[in-house]
Amino acid sequence: MLNYFLKRLLGLIPTLLIVAVLVFLFVHMLPGDPARLAAGQDADEQTVAMVRQELGLDKPLPQQFVSFFTHMLQGDFGTSIRTRRPVSVEIGERFFPTVMLTITSMVWAVFFGMGIGIVSAVYRNQWPDRLGMTLAVSGISFPAFALGMLLMQIFSVQLGWLPTVGAATWKHYILPSITLGAAVAAVMARFTRASFVEVIQEDFVRTARAKGVRERTVIIKHCLRNALIPVVTMMGLQFGFLLGGSILVEAVFNWPGLGRLLVDAVQMRDYPVIQTLVLLFSLEFILINLVVDVLYGYINPTIRYK
C-alpha cells in the first residue's frame, strides 16, 4: 500500500507539469491585454508599455513560463494583476468558503442520493422507484444557475426566509449548497440504484434471504458494502466536480470563494491567479482520485495494490 501511494504521488509531478504548460498557453491565448486592463482604458500607450514591462509581459513566452514555473516551485505564485496582492493570499482568503460549501453540498447530496438509490433498487419498478428516478432525472436536467435563481426567487424574495448573498451564517449555505449538490445527488441516486440492482441479484443475497436473515440486514450488511466500490468512485469524481464546478453557483450567489475569484480573474485577464487556480483544481482532482483508490482497499480487503 505504501509503495503504491508513493508511486502515485511521484506521478503527480509530470501530470502537473503538463497541466502547467497547457494552462500557461491557454491563458495567454485569451483575448484582451492585461496591461491595458491594469492601466485603465484611458491610459496612453507609454503608460501601458510601462505596466506591461512591470508585469513581465514584454518578455518572450518561453522566458515567462520559465519564470512562472521557477517561482511556483519555490512557493511563489506571483502577484495578482487585479489587486496587486500575492496570489497565495488571494486564494487563501477564498479557499475556506469554497471548501465548506463543497463539503456541505456533498454531505446532503450523498445522504439523499444514496438513500433514493437504495430505495429505488429495493422497490424496483414500483412507485418509489419511479418517483426517485423522476427526481433524479429532474436534478440532472435542471441547470444549476436556473435552479439557484428559482430558489432565490421563492425562498429569499417571496418568502424572505433565507439570505441571497454572502457566507456569514449557516443560513447562507442552504440555497447555494442545494443548488450545487442537486445534480450530484441525482447522479448518486442513479448510480447507487444501478449498483444495488446488480448486487441484489447475486447468489449470496439470495442465500442470506433463504436463511431467514431480515431484509434490512441483507440490504445494509450484505448489499451496501459490495455495492460501494463503484459508488465511492463516482463520489470522488463528483466531489472533485463540486470543487472545480462551483463557478456558476458562486457567481449566482456572489459567494466569496474560489469560483468567484476565477470569474473575476478571467474578466481582468489576471494571468497569475488563473494559472494558480487551474493548477489547484487539477491537483485536487488528482488527490481525490488517489484517496478513492486507497479507500478501495478498506471497502474490499481482497483488493491488493502493486
Q: pLDDT tens string for the chain (306 positions)?
A: 667 667 766 777 777 788 878 888 877 777 766 776 666 666 667 777 777 777 777 777 788 788 877 877 777 777 787 777 888 888 888 888 888 888 888 888 888 888 888 888 888 888 888 888 888 887 777 777 788 888 888 888 888 888 777 677 778 888 888 888 888 888 888 888 888 887 777 777 777 777 777 777 777 766 777 777 777 777 777 777 777 667 778 777 877 888 888 888 887 777 888 888 888 887 877 777 777 777 666 665 555 555
Question: Cβ of 292: how many Cβ atoms within 10 Å?
Answer: 18
Kindly tell me the sign of the dihedral angle through the C-alpha atoms of 217, 218, 224, 226: positive
**Closest among 126, 105, 135 to 250, alpha carbons compared:** 105
Pick the CATH number of 87-299 from 1.10.3720.10, 3.30.565.10, 1.10.540.10, 1.10.10.10: 1.10.3720.10
Kindly list the domain boundaries of the chain, sorted by start residue.
87-299
CA-derived radius of gyration, the chain: 24
Q: Based on the number of CB atoms within 10 Å of its own CB, is 239 exposed (0-12), middle (13-18) or buried (19 or more)? A: buried
pLDDT of residue 181: 83
For the record, the C-alpha cell of 162 comes out as 433565507
CB 258 within 8 A of CB 98: yes
User: What is the C-alpha to C-alpha distance for residues 34 and 124, in angstroms, rounded to an integer?
Assistant: 57
Question: Cβ of 39: how many Cβ atoms within 10 Å?
Answer: 21
- Residue bearing cell 433514493: 116
User: What is the C-alpha to C-alpha distance for residues 118 and 190, in angstroms, rounded to an integer?
Assistant: 9
pLDDT of residue 5: 65
Instruction: Please spell the DSSP secondary structure of the chain, one letter per residue.
Output: -HHHHHHHHHTHHHHHHHHHHHHHHHHHHSSS-HHHHHH-TT--HHHHHHHHHHHTTTS-HHHHHHHHHHHHHTT---B-TTT-SBHHHHHHHHHHHHHHHHHHHHHHHHHHHHHHHHHHHHTTTSHHHHHHHHHHHHHHHS-HHHHHHHHIIIIIIIS--S-SS--SSGGGGHHHHHHHHHHHHHHHHHHHHHHHHHHHTSHHHHHHHHTT--HHHIIIIIIHHHHHHHHHHHHHHHHHHHHHS-HHHHHHTT-SSHHHHHHHHHHTT-HHHHHHHHHHHHHHHHHHHHHHHHHHHHH-TT----
**Closest among 98, 103, 96 to 239, alpha carbons compared:** 103
